[in-house]
Amino acid sequence: MEKKIFIFLLILSLSTGIASRAFAQGQTGSIKGKITDKAGNPLPDAFIYVSSPAMLGIRTYLSSKTGAIRFPGLPPGIYKIMAEKPEYKTVNVEDIIVRVGKTVNLDITLEATLIEEEITSNIPSPTLDEESTKTSVNIDRDLLNNIPFARNLHEIINSAAGVTQYSVKGEFRP
């Protein structure tokens, strides 16, 4: 009888340990690394933009004083990272694969620019159409981070003013 209880408790403790490790793994991954110049010196306050179809929108980060970057809590998927800093060339890194429970190490080197160029835009500013009755909604990153429901595209669209969801239920008889 004691042997059966011992075996039962052993199996129970092993299954609990395995389940807790699987639960601790989470549903996200992360990216970490360092931003440096060609000489290997850290570049603080570089702008880092992270985008992926797996997350809605683009997240913006700044590198730390030591040039460190860390992007925790990323849903699994393929990511694109753009790093830029004034007086340095912009670097794009694509096809970064983030997996559940894994951390991707990514070091980015920015090259100093030698030429200053002035950019002049000849695009006319948009004008206000006083005749139109159209409405529009801008969904920004703050809204996406603070919405109280699942972050899927259909729910976000349905939360916009003036949007109604219409579904037809019925049966088909050939």
Hey, what domains does the chain have and what are their CATH numbers? 26-110 (2.60.40.1120), 137-166 (no CATH)
Residue 85 dihedral angles phi and psi, to the nearest 5°: -155, 140
- Determine the Cα angle at 17 with ends 14 and 22, to 5°: 125
Residue 133 has pLDDT above 80, yes or no: no
Q: CA 87 to CA 73: how far, in whole Å?
A: 31
The model's confidence at residue 54, banded by pLDDT at 50, 70 and 90, is: confident
Strands (DSSP E) along the chain, which ranges?
29-37, 47-52, 55-62, 68-74, 77-84, 91-98, 103-110
Predicted pLDDT of residue 7 = 78
Q: CA 34 to CA 12: how far, in whole Å?
A: 44
The model's confidence at residue 55, banded by pLDDT at 50, 70 and 90, is: confident
Residue 43 has pLDDT above 90, yes or no: yes
The model's confidence at residue 19, banded by pLDDT at 50, 70 and 90, is: low
